[in-house]
């Protein structure tokens, strides 16, 4: 397989698109075509699902320890190819190379974690209802998993699904986002190189229509989807047609509350990074800063000063840039619309507020780090996910106002609080409506803690031992012994 051409991986082989159709892959930093991806046909989706079904009984029956050893071998292949994969991520997604390297490092961690977790899946015994009855509860793999990923972490987020699914004994048909298939294909190839049996891991490329065909396929037992809330709703509806289980990791609108006793030396670097890193295209990026009025002035001054220093760059030319371009023209358009809407409704621009159109940014989809104040609830930016390098700031009177604004969106993925007061940290954490809370930090994701959205940010969890449960089903075995 040529690294920059992405074919389809079905039943252990890289194959050409059935209809002969390819789609170009663009570099967001330059707008240039850097590769192409095969467009799978509906018949190829059928073949991929059939291959996964055929491989399932043998894979599920393999001792968990052996599945874990194979996952460890896949991790070693990713380690061997990490620089190649990272460069592909930067090329097609735009994030600076240092962040792409970080993404691959996390992917390896995922594989390490679930390689070990495979053999820790345990059932239970419960007291039988009669003296000669024994009852055991076992956990078995769900079956064929459709794993659908977005473009913002094209490799890492596939590993969030593949690693636990494969460890649990499921087989997989994976689909990347249409604009970021190249690094994902190289990642999938690591499973082939690691010696996974044909059909255990399959990979099809395409857009919404193909995704829908995969999710609605009656041969799929479980759908694990990461993407927008809007598409998540459609995925759930399609999966309902054959009652496939679903895990949905959806959009976010993360608030951060800066209390008047916050340690700004800590709050500033964390909030700047979590607002602008990966150009704000992370589900747990900060979408609303709620700062107490008594500390608003120093916070805003220091925040703007730090944001002004951020380096924007083409991620291959400037590997340690703080942020790169937006991933697609559509993402850029949405950011422009949100900022224009906020300005029209009275927001003040303290920094940025425009596209970067001069060289070296003129050919790509770069947007300046932007800070807005004077946010009001009627602005789109106050309740919709912007997914761009924009930090809207609202000055609040007290914790009650901060909480009511923080909880006023349909989302509930992540929220952050900065305070030196332990009581307040507990009380605010408990009342914030989100699946993850960062107190005095904005870097909350860790492998051994579950990650999942509340409200319209998702259903189910990923990561940790809870994450593997999403790929298992329970079975009660009631055994009657001969009467003694």
Residues 170, 283, 385, 442: which is the catalytic one? 283
Q: What is the tally of helices (H) and strands (E) in the chain?
A: 14, 23
Of the candidate residues 38, 51, 215, 286, the single one contacting ligand NAD (CB under 6 A): 215
DSSP-assigned beta bridge partners for residue 367: 355
Q: Give the residue with the Cβ less far from ligand NAD, 68 or 219.
A: 219
DSSP string spanning 186-216? HHHHHHHHHTPPTTSEEE----HHHHHHHHT
Is residue 40 within the footprint of ligand NAD (CB under 6 A)? no
- Map the footprint of ligand NAD across residues 240-259, applying CB under 6 A: 249-252
Q: Is 212 in the site for ligand NAD (CB under 6 A)?
A: yes
Structure tokens belonging to residue 154 = 């094209």
Please, which residue, 40 or 347, has the CB nearer to ligand NAD?
40
What character string, x for contact with ligand NAD (CB under 6 A) and - otherwise, covers 408-447? -----x----------------------------------
Q: What is the footprint of ligand NAD within residues 221-240 (CB under 6 A)?
A: 226-228, 231, 234-235
- Respond yes or no: is residue 259 known to be catalytic: no
Compute how many other C-beta atoms are within 10 angstroms of the C-beta atom of residue 243: 9
Nearer to ligand NAD, 91 or 282 (CB): 282
3-class DSSP assignment, residue 104: helix
Helix axes 264-276, 293-308, angle to 10 degrees: 50
Q: What SS3 class is residue 362? A: coil
Minimal CB distance residue for ligand NAD: 211
Per-residue x/- track, 373-392, ligand NAD (CB under 6 A)? ------------x-x-----
329 counts as binding ligand NAD under rule CB under 6 A: no
Q: Name the minimum Å distance from CB 250 to ligand NAD.
A: 5
Residue 315 makes CB contacts below 8 A (sequence gap 6+) with 29, 90, 94, 95, 96, 97, 99, 100, 321, 324
Which pair of tokens denotes residue 204? 């099809």
CB of 445 to ligand NAD, least distance (A): 9
Check if 249 is active-site: yes
For residue 417, list its beta bridge partners. Answer: 257, 439
Q: Which of 249, 384, 385, 462 is catalytic?
A: 249
Could you tell me the two tokens for 306?
Answer: 């730090």
Strand arrangement of the beta sheet that strand 472-480 belongs to? 124-127, 133-141, 472-480
| Angle (CA) 422 377 372, round 5° | 80
Between β-strands 414-418 and 254-258, what pairing exists: parallel, antiparallel or unpaired?
parallel
Minimum CB distance to ligand NAD, residue 210 (Å): 7
Told to check if 324 binds ligand NAD by CB under 6 A, we report no
How far apart, in whole angstroms, are the C-alpha atoms of residue 397 and residue 399? 7
Instruction: Give the one residue of 75, 139, 175, 274 binding ligand NAD; rule: CB under 6 A.
Output: 175
Rounded alpha-carbon distances, angstroms, from residue 469 to 69, 354, 464:
20, 45, 9
Residues linked to residue 446 through DSSP beta bridges, in sequence order: none
CA–CA distance, 316 with 331 (Å, rounded to integer): 21
Identify the residue among 177, 183, 323, 326 touching ligand NAD (CB under 6 A): 177
- CA torsion 122-127-133-134 (nearest 10°) is 20
Q: What is the DSSP letter of 39?
A: P
- State which of positions 127-156 bind ligand NAD (CB under 6 A): 148-152
Structure tokens at 435: 């699946």
**Contact range with ligand NAD by CB under 6 A, out of 17-25, 171-179, 315-323, 351-359:** 171-179
CB of 215 to ligand NAD, least distance (A): 5
Question: Which x/- pattern over 179-208 shows residues binding ligand NAD (rule: CB under 6 A)?
Answer: ----------------------------xx
Residue 178 binds to ligand NAD (criterion: CB under 6 A): yes
Size of the site for ligand NAD (CB under 6 A): 30
CB of 460 to ligand NAD, least distance (A): 11
Q: Please list the residues that pair with 190 across neighbouring strands.
A: none
Q: Identify the residue among 324, 352, 453, 467 touching ligand NAD (CB under 6 A).
A: 453
Between 148 and 472, whose beta carbon lies closer to ligand NAD? 148
Backbone angles phi, psi at 235, to 5 degrees: -65, -45
Report, in Å, the least distance between residue 459 CB and ligand NAD: 10
Residues designated as active site: 249, 283
**Which residues contribute to the site for ligand NAD (CB under 6 A)?**
148-152, 157, 175, 177-178, 207-208, 211-212, 215, 226-228, 231, 234-235, 249-252, 283, 385, 387, 413, 453, 458
């Amino acid at each position: 397989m040529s690294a920059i051409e992405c074919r389809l991986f079905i039943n252990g082989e890289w194959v050409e698109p059935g209809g002969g159709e390819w789609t170009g892959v663009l570099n967001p930093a330059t707008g240039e075509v850097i590769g192409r991806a095969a467009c799978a046909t509906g018949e190829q989706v059928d073949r991929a699902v059939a291959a996964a079904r055929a491989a399932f009984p043998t894979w599920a029956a393999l001792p968990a320890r052996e599945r874990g050893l194979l996952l460890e071998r896949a991790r070693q292949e990713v380690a061997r190819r990490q620089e190649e994969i990272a460069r592909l991520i930067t090329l097609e997604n735009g994030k600076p190379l240092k962040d792409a390297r970080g993404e691959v490092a996390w992917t390896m961690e995922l594989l390490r974690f679930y390689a070990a977790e495979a053999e820790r899946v345990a059932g239970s015994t419960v007291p039988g209802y009669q003296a000669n009855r024994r009852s055991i509860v076992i956990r078995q793999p769900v079956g064929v998993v459709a794993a659908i990923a977005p473009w913002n972490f094209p490799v890492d987020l596939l590993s969030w699904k593949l690693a636990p699914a494969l460890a649990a004994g499921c087989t997989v048909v994976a689909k990347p986002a249409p604009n970021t298939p190249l690094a994902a294909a190289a990642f999938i190839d690591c499973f082939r190189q690691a010696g996974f049996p044909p059909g255990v891991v399959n990979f099809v490329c395409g857009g919404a229509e193909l995704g829908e065909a995969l999710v609605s396929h009656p041969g799929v037992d479980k759908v694990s989807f990461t993407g927008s809330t809007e598409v998540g709703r459609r995925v759930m509806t399609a999966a309902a047609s054959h009652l496939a289980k679903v895990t949905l990791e959806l959009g976010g609108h993360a608030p951060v509350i800066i209390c008047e006793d916050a340690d700004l030396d800590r709050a500033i670097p964390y909030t700047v990074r979590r607002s602008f890193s990966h150009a704000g295209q992370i589900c747990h990026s900060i979408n609303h800063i709620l700062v107490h009025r008594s500390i608003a002035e120093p916070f805003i001054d220091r925040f703007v000063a730090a944001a002004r220093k951020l380096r924007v760059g083409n991620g291959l030319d400037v590997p340690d840039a703080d942020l790169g371009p937006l991933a697609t023209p559509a993402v850029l358009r949405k950011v422009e619309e949100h900022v224009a809407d906020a300005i029209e409704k009275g927001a003040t621009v303290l920094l940025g507020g425009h596209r970067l159109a001069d060289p070296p940014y003129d050919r790509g989809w770069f947007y300046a780090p932007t800070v807005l104040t004077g946010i009001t609830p009627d602005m789109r930016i106050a309740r919709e996910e912007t997914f761009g390098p924009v930090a809207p700031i609202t000055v609040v009177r007290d914790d009650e106002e901060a909480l009511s604004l923080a909880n006023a969106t349909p989302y509930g993925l992540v929220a952050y609080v900065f305070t030196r007061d332990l009581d307040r940290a507990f009380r605010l954490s408990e009342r914030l409506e989100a699946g993850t809370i960062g107190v005095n930090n904005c870097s909350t994701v860790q492998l051994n803690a579950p990650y999942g959205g509340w409200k319209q940010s998702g259903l189910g969890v990923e990561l940790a031992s809870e994450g593997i449960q999403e790929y298992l089903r329970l079975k009660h075995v009631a055994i009657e012994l001969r009467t003694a």
